């Protein structure tokens, strides 16, 4: 055979082999993951005992919503026109203008934020009249709450008390110590709705030894034994939610408590030992990308879309990518968890995701860059969010048959059918779209609101989810490994032990 022909044949074989190797290297990783929720980003429903031990006023945390009703007048305190003007006491029924969000200054001193996000102040009129005109709270916006069961006195900076002498104006001019009788204008009935129990609330509420509280939690909530358990069940990855303050360990901005980076380092060590990969998930960003406690929101107000918060978020991604990009256990970095469609517009999110991708890629050529869907929007909007040529990009979708009204009052078979039809169709639509990234069902649980559901029902439901979600091109991640909630269906370990999750490919025994 001619040498030129031999060279041509050899080149063809080399090209085919190279292409085949490239395809193999680019093959989806078939991730079977479990989230380590409630560990490095606190979620109160998962770790309620931490909040039960707050020494004083553990129901008056940051973001708690209160309403104040004058005992004498029988009317509610209200910020006229949602804020920016005077405070009155003339509402028969409470709504948004009559609801105040607390910022906790100490165990019994608070700022009161009205619905337009200004703060109640006793400064005007030399401390007598009360309005809601301050953008930034200081001394005259600080109020001490003195409680007698559901009755309260509200003490101002100058030592006098708020009072409702008539409906037209709340004043801050009651001197002396008010009693608790029905005709005293300085007595109010306080209704409390503790809406948020997240990392910010817990860290800001402990007046003593917060470091010990957080160290104890981080050292015990997740351990190396948990990684060993996961590996024994065929789990090959963990998704670890972190908060933005981790980038500034060991001295993060107040009220956050240092030590989460050390815990994440431990997780990487345990993961390597037990052949598990790690996804770092930025669960809580500066300014909070949604109004929930898991974004470390102070009071349910989301300001993440502001330019300075996005810039800081990119800095956090840069720090995390720099630190862990060379670690063999790193699988990927998720740029943001559950941005809320009502608070984050699509163009802003796309721009951030593109910049975040570039930050990660500048540190690692191969780490997966994961983009989470906007809550309340079709995730298809993000399929073409990145420029052509982007590599190892993953779209994270979260599937819960629990939170919205369409899932109420249905049978377990209805839920199983929904998984087999709607969820399966959604995954196929996303992964088969032109230029689609890999698809990751990054959060799902076995929880459904079906009173009287049996163990067999939950096993059938869990099997349906495992069967459908394995078709996602990147894989799936169960929420969560562990909770202290009495309902086991959010808890991977107990669900496995109970037999509700038993797909053979997971080697569950």
The owner of tokens 């402990």 is 206
Residue 321 has a CB neighbour count (10 Å cut-off) of 21
The packing angle between helices 307-324 and 346-363, to 10°, is 30
Residue 125 is predicted with a pLDDT of 54
CATH superfamily of this structure's domain 29-51+198-506? Glycosidases (3.20.20.80)
CA proximity to 393, closest of 366, 373, 375: 366
Q: Would you kindly state where each structural domain of the chain is located, as residue ranges?
A: 29-51+198-506, 65-193
CA proximity to 41, closest of 341, 299, 292, 318: 292
Residue 20 is predicted with a pLDDT of 31
* Distance in angstroms (rounded) separating the CA atoms of residues 118 and 169: 18
Architecture of the structural domain at 65-193: Trefoil (2.80)
Q: Please list, in sequence order, all residues whose beta carbon lies within 8 angstroms of the beta carbon of residue 357, skipping any fewer than 6 positions away.
A: 335, 369, 386, 390, 393
CA proximity to 241, closest of 35, 487, 486: 35
pTM metric for this prediction = 0.92
With H, G, I as helix, E, B as strand and everything else as coil, classify residue 243.
strand
* Distance in angstroms (rounded) separating the CA atoms of residues 388 and 260: 36
With H, G, I as helix, E, B as strand and everything else as coil, classify residue 82.
helix
> Which sign does the torsion angle of CA 45, 49, 53, 57 carry?
positive
Residue 504 is predicted with a pLDDT of 57
Please identify every stretch of the chain with a pLDDT value under 50, giving residue numbers as ranges: 1-25, 506-509
Long-range interactions of 349-353: CB distance < 8 A, separation 24+: 349/374, 349/382, 349/385, 350/382, 350/385, 352/310, 352/313, 352/314, 353/382, 353/385, 353/386
Residue 18 is predicted with a pLDDT of 33
Contact 345, 385 (CB under 8 A): no
Direct distance between the N- and C-terminal alpha carbons of the chain, in angstroms, rounded to an integer: 59
Residue 126 is predicted with a pLDDT of 62
Residue 503 is predicted with a pLDDT of 61
CA proximity to 93, closest of 71, 72, 78: 78
Contact 89, 76 (CB under 8 A): yes
């Amino acid at each position: 055979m001619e040498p030129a022909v031999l060279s041509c044949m050899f080149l063809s074989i080399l090209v085919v082999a190279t292409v085949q190797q490239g395809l193999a290297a680019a093959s989806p990783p078939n991730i079977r993951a479990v989230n380590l929720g409630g560990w490095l980003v606190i979620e109160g429903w998962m770790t309620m005992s931490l909040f039960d031990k707050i020494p004083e006023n553990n129901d008056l945390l940051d973001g708690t919503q209160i309403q104040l009703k004058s005992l004498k007048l029988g009317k509610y305190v209200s910020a006229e026109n949602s804020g920016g003007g005077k405070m009155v006491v003339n509402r028969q029924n409470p709504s948004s203008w009559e609801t105040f969000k607390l910022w906790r200054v100490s165990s019994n001193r608070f700022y009161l934020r009205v619905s337009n996000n200004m703060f109640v102040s006793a400064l005007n009129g030399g401390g007598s009249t009360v309005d809601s005109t301050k953008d930034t709270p200081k001394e005259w916006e600080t109020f001490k709450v003195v409680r007698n069961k559901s009755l309260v006195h509200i003490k101002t900076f100058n030592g006098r008390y708020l009072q409702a002498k008539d409906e037209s104006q709340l004043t801050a001019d009651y001197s002396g110590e008010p009693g608790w009788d029905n005709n005293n204008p300085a007595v109010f009935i306080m209704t409390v709705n503790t809406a948020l129990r997240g990392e910010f609330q817990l860290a800001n509420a402990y007046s003593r030894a917060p470091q010990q509280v957080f160290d104890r939690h981080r050292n015990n909530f997740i351990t190396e034994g948990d990684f060993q358990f996961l590996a024994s069940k065929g789990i090959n990855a963990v998704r670890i939610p972190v908060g933005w303050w981790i980038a500034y360990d060991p001295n993060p901005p107040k009220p956050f408590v240092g030590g989460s980076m050390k815990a994440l380092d431990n997780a990487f060590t345990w993961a390597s030992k037990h052949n598990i990969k790690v996804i770092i998930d930025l669960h809580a960003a500066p300014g909070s990308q949604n109004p929930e406690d898991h974004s470390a929101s102070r009071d349910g107000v989301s300001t993440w879309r502001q330019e300075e918060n996005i810039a800081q978020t990119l800095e956090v991604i840069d720090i995390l990518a720099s630190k862990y990009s060379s670690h063999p256990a790193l699988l990927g970095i998720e740029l943001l968890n559950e941005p809320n469609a009502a608070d984050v517009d699509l163009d802003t999110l796309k721009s951030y995701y593109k910049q975040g991708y570039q930050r990660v890629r500048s540190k690692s050529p191969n780490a997966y860059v994961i983009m989470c869907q906007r809550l309340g929007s079709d995730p298809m909007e993000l399929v073409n969010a990145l420029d052509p040529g982007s590599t190892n990009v993953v779209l994270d979708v979260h599937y819960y048959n629990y939170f919205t009204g369409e899932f109420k009052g249905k049978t377990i078979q209805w839920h199983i059918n929904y998984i087999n039809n709607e969820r399966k169709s959604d995954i196929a639509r996303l992964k088969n779209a032109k230029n689609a990234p890999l698809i990751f069902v990054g959060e799902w649980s076995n929880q459904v609101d079906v009173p009287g559901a049996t163990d067999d029902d939950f096993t059938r439901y869990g099997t349906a989810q495992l069967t459908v979600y394995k078709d996602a091109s990147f894989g799936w991640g169960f929420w969560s490994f562990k909770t202290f909630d009495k309902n086991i269906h959010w808890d991977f370990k107990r669900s496995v032990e109970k037999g509700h999750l038993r797909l053979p490919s997971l080697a569950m025994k």
